[in-house]
Structure 1
Amino acid sequence: MTQLRPARVLMVCTGNICRSTMAHAILQQEAARAGVDVVVDSAGVSDEEQGNPIDRRAARVLRDAGYAVPDHRARQIRAAELGEWDLILAMTSRHLGILQRLADRSGVEHEGAPASAEDLGAGPRICLYRDLDPAGSGDVPDPWYGGHQDFLDTLEVIERVTPTIIALAR
């Protein structure tokens, strides 16, 4: 019997130190708990935080919620890697537009949000993270300029969307 390769999921935000890194960590840990083989990474559309660790406030919220804090260093998305991912999840419509333009300029064929697990594996699906949110679509709130509650709000969205991503990756 041939084993299918694991689903490959990339989270993308601005600097890759808050939202995408939190979503990356939570999906990776929850998929492992569920026994789902998935490759997860995250990146930013900007290089402004290149090489920096996860934001200390994001790390605190993850730790307080019972997640391990990843030893992740921020990186910028590269056009050459777009075709390597099954699902690329943009945290905002601005990030989505940047990713779509990057894919179009590099000749990477892509589609929108997957409806089922069968939709993954035939080229990247690039969509908003919250297109997979049972509570409705939109941008994932940016906690960077806010306080602790803003990071908790972001955590709530991520925890709500994660089961949908895991179901798609099965």
Structure 2
Amino acid sequence: MARVMMVCTGNICRSPMAEIVLRERLVREGLSGLVQVDSTGVSSEEAGNPLDPRARRVLAAAGYTDAGLTAHRARRIEFEDLEARDLVLTMTASHARAVRRLADMFDVSVPLDHVRMFRSFDPAAPQATHFQDESLLDVADPWYGDTSDFEECLEQVEAAMDGIIDYIRATLLGVDSQGGS
């Protein structure tokens, strides 16, 4: 089974939104039994808190029904998470740096392509050619905004999904788009 983890700041907005969207897409693609998806934050300040109500409303309005809408509880990333995941998708460049620092601090061997910017899978997103350019791929932070900011975040999450699904199929599961190997 492939394991994919989303990472944002507090694990109450962006990363659980992406987790819920990916999990529902995997169901539609017939891959749900082959991929485990979860999310974490780089901060512990929201630990134990549910999905932000604004995120829940925007996801529900868009038709997402995943149990994570009500069951999600924020948690902070631990070094063990890095060792146990095949792909770590970060919402911003600062999250990517925090994940890489965590790996270095605990001497966890993480291949370069193991930690990726979430929006790097969106063909319409700006292209980052080096780690210093990664901030071009940041998923907008809706925390200080209103409903429209959460809708923008969801749009950015959805725009990357086809690329993420293709990557999971080809790289993590070793199957083509028709399900063959």
Q: Percent identity?
A: 49
Match of 1:93 in 2: 93
What are the ranges of 5 or more consecutive residues in structure 1 without an aligned counterpart? 1-5, 114-124
The Cα RMSD (Å) is 1.1
Match of 2:49 in 1: 52
The amino acid that maps onto 1:81 is D
* 1:17 and 2:8 aligned: no
Q: 2:22 aligns with which of 20, 23, 27?
A: 27
Kept in 1, the 8 Å contact 2:120–2:160? The answer is no
Q: 1:133 aligns with which of 115, 122, 133?
A: 122
What are the ranges of 5 or more consecutive residues in structure 2 without an aligned counterpart? 127-136, 170-181
1:111 positional shift: 2.9
SS in structure 1 of the partner of residue 112 of structure 2: coil
* 1:7 and 2:6 aligned: no
TM score, norm. by length of structure 1: 0.87
Residues 151-170 of structure 1: pairs in structure 2 closer than 5 A: 151-170=150-169
1:110 positional shift: 1.9
The amino acid that maps onto 2:78 is R
Deviations 1:7-30 (A, max 9, x none): 211000000000000000010011
The amino acid that maps onto 1:151 is F
Kept in 1, the 8 Å contact 2:6–2:40? The answer is yes
Q: 2 CA distance for matches of 1:145 and 1:98?
A: 22
1:156 positional shift: 0.4
Match of 2:103 in 1: 103
1:59 positional shift: 0.1
Aligned length: 154
Kept in 1, the 8 Å contact 2:10–2:74? The answer is yes
Residues 69-88 of structure 1: pairs in structure 2 closer than 5 A: 69=66, 70=68, 71-88=71-88
Deviating above 4 A after TM superposition, structure 1's stretches of 4 or more consecutive aligned residues are none
The amino acid that maps onto 2:14 is R
SS in structure 2 of the partner of residue 136 of structure 1: coil
1:112 positional shift: 3.3
SS in structure 1 of the partner of residue 124 of structure 2: coil
1:101 positional shift: 0.6
Structure number with the higher helix fraction is 2
Q: 2 CA distance for matches of 1:31 and 1:13?
A: 21
* 1:63 and 2:60 aligned: yes
Q: 2 CA distance for matches of 1:56 and 1:167?
A: 30
The amino acid that maps onto 2:85 is W
1:143 positional shift: 0.2
